[in-house]
């Protein structure tokens, strides 16, 4: 948890916050609030005035924005008030996200924004997400999550917190354990948003690329669902799998050669040979089941190897080569 999120968590504990709750009432304890339409030449979501100078700083919220966005902005401005190192006057743009050393808004346009400003805006965004959707509360909610009803679960979170769909999904995937991935797809089949939980051993789908059904050849569950007019695909993955039995007397080299000959994929030998030992070396302290699962997922990250993964001897190649590497480790 980042320092600004810890400040939000302390506030949650102090006021015994459990969604749904009255955010405006909470913010009014720390600042004076005014909702008003901003002039057209001020393209901002909110303004915090007199931070760390006035006993009760002033917060102005752009009432021309959608209600959900106003709600997030109010939580964002509370972040500026509470976070100790945010001082003075701040004009807020809550859709700023840091990508590398660049700044991008929801519209997809890059802005020439001061780096320090981007940092404090992102800190206020993280504070806002924690205040609106407290991590401990969300973790308790997740304990009752039925993946087949992920749409109902998300609708419940959104209704209780009044957070946006994007903010809810981002927070959810920050709290979920390893083994979850999700994409949002537009009507043209393009991935418009992508989420993956920490330590999940699959590649995160790239925003702006075309979605294809075999994006993950290996998965536990796959759910198609909608939130309003948005379409999502949600996957779960086994982090622990059954270690295959050895049923073939040949060496892994002989098995690999047989698979490549069957599939006419000899040109892929170098890349296939590199994946398994690399996955093993970086995870060799994990259990056999964990490593085998990671190996499977590493291969599934390569779209051009789908036929290789589907071959009946794939499991035999994996277990025999894995056991040879494990034996050398001892």
| pLDDT, tens only, 244-254 | 899 999 999 99
Q: How large is the average pLDDT for residues 120-131?
A: 95
User: For residue 108, what pLDDT band results from cuts at 50, 70 and 90?
Assistant: very low
| pLDDT, tens only, 261-317 | 999 999 999 999 999 999 999 999 989 998 998 898 888 888 789 899 989 999 999
Report which DSSP code applies to 206.
P
- φ, ψ of residue 126 in degrees (nearest 5): -65, -40
Report which DSSP code applies to 208.
T
Whole-angstrom distance, CA of residue 251 vs CA of residue 155: 52
Cα torsion through 10, 146, 181, 120, rounded to 10: -20
What rounded mean pLDDT belongs to the chain? 90
Residue 32, both tokens: 């004076």
Whole-angstrom distance, CA of residue 238 vs CA of residue 219: 7
Whole-angstrom distance, CA of residue 137 vs CA of residue 31: 25
| Residue carrying the six token digits 């917060």 | 59
Q: How large is the average pLDDT for residues 76-81?
A: 97
Q: Identify which of 255, 248, 183, 265 has the alpha carbon closest to the alpha carbon of residue 219.
A: 183
Residue 23: is its pLDDT beyond 70? yes
Residue 303: predicted pLDDT = 79
Using the CB atoms, write b or e for 147-158: b if 16+ within 10 Å: eeebeebbbebb
Give the contacts of 303 (CB within 8 A, at least 6 positions apart).
Answer: 212, 214, 215
pTM metric for this prediction: 0.77
Whole-angstrom distance, CA of residue 156 vs CA of residue 154: 5
Which runs of E-coded beta strand occur in 106-236?
Answer: 180-185, 191-196, 221-227, 230-236
| pLDDT, tens only, 138-187 | 999 999 899 999 999 999 999 999 999 999 999 999 999 989 999 999 99
110 vs 82, residue with greater confidence? 82
Residue 311, both tokens: 């071959």
């Amino acid at each position: 948890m980042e320092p600004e999120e810890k400040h939000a968590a302390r506030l949650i504990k102090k006021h015994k916050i459990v969604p749904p709750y009255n955010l405006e009432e909470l913010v009014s304890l720390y600042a004076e609030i005014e909702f008003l339409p901003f002039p057209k030449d001020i393209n901002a979501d909110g303004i915090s005035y007199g931070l760390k100078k006035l006993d009760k700083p002033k917060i102005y919220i752009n009432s021309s924005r959608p209600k959900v966005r106003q709600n997030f902005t109010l939580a964002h401005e509370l972040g500026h008030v509470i976070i100790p190192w945010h001082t003075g006057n701040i004009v807020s743009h809550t859709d700023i996200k840091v990508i590398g050393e660049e700044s991008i808004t929801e519209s997809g346009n890059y802005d020439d924004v001061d780096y320090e400003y981007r940092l404090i805006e992102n800190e206020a965004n993280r504070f806002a997400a924690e205040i609106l959707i407290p991590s401990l509360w969300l973790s308790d909610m997740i304990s009752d999550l039925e993946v087949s009803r992920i749409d109902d679960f998300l609708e419940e979170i959104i209704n209780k917190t009044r957070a946006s769909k994007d903010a809810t999904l981002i927070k959810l995937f920050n709290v979920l354990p390893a083994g979850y991935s999700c994409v949002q797809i537009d009507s043209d089949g393009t991935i418009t948003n992508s989420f993956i939980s920490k330590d999940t051993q699959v590649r995160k789908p790239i925003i702006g690329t075309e979605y294809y059904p075999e994006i993950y050849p290996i998965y536990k569950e796959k759910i198609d669902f909608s939130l309003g007019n948005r379409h999502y695909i949600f996957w779960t993955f086994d982090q622990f799998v059954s270690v295959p039995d050895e049923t073939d007397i040949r060496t892994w080299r002989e098995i690999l050669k047989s698979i490549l000959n069957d599939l006419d994929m000899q040109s892929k030998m170098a890349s296939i040979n590199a994946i398994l030992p690399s996955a093993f070396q970086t995870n060799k302290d994990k259990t056999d089941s964990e490593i085998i699962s990671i190996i499977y997922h590493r291969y599934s990250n390569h779209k051009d190897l789908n036929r290789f993964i589907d071959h009946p001897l794939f499991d035999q190649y994996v277990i025999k080569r894995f056991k040879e590497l494990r034996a050398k480790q001892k």
